[in-house]
Amino acid sequence: MTKNLGRTIAALSLALVPLLTTAVSAPSASASSVEVFQLEDAISLLVEADENRAGYTAAAFPHWNAGKDPADGCSTREEVLLAEAVEEPDVSAGCSLSGGRWVSYYDNQSVTKRSSVTIDHVVPLAEAWGSGGSAWSTGRREAYANDQGSPATLAAVTVRAKREKAEQDIKEWLPTETAGICRYIGDWVGTKLRWDLTVDKEEMEVLKLFADNSCETTVVLVNRAP
């Protein structure tokens, strides 16, 4: 096993609280389009393939765009912040946000300072590129980077947690808050299935370890991307 996989196994021993993940559809999607899986079954649907991040740049995934409602003057980033706020912020001209509160599930931090919260791609853009996104059109990559059709794709988290995670994949980084690990695992799997992204061998091993142990009761709901 690699050193990174060994660290993941150590984290596994701490993840004692399996959580319900909600990789669900947008409100406009019909209920029949949502597939419900136990984590183990969801993992079995993933396609294993070597990962290749060669040629990746963040510019290949245009973000942030005008979001679900171009008329609201908010970008995808601000729309997600508004959707995930546990205390709603005030919105002024230009979609400038003030006040409000968010809870970052990566590190269980409550944040009230706007400059301390940001939006993270649960499956990083570099990971998406290396797992099949390099073959997508620019339009599809933009759709992925701004995806609000599933709450599993984007998460409001602390700037510090996002910086620590960077573009690392699941065998290299997991939430520091143990109660958030099973949610993160489920969100990762749900996003990969939603966008037909592959997993590499070590990634698959990590996912199976969690599915067989502390996250065995995690549920993944998948609404396939158009």
Domain limits, the chain: 3-223
Q: Which of 19-23, 153-157, 203-207 has the lowest mean pLDDT?
A: 19-23
- Dihedral of CA atoms 135, 168, 215, 81 in degrees, nearest 10, equals -80
Query: At 202, phi and psi to the nearest 5?
Result: -65, -35
Check pLDDT > 70 for residue 145: yes
Structure tokens at 222: 């998948």
> Cα–Cα distance between 149 and 26 in angstroms, integer?
4
The arithmetic mean of pLDDT across residues 181-193, rounded, is 98
Query: At 37, phi and psi to the nearest 5?
Result: -135, 145
The arithmetic mean of pLDDT across residues 58-81, rounded, is 96
Report the predicted TM-score, pTM, of the whole model to 2 decimal places. 0.87
- Residue 26 pLDDT level (bands cut at 50, 70, 90): very low
User: What does the pLDDT read at residue 61?
Assistant: 98
Check pLDDT > 70 for residue 198: yes
With 0-12 CB in 10 A as exposed, 13-18 as middle and 19+ as buried, what is 204?
middle
Please report, rounded to a whole number, the percentage of residues in the chain having pLDDT higher than 90.
83
The arithmetic mean of pLDDT across residues 198-202, rounded, is 98
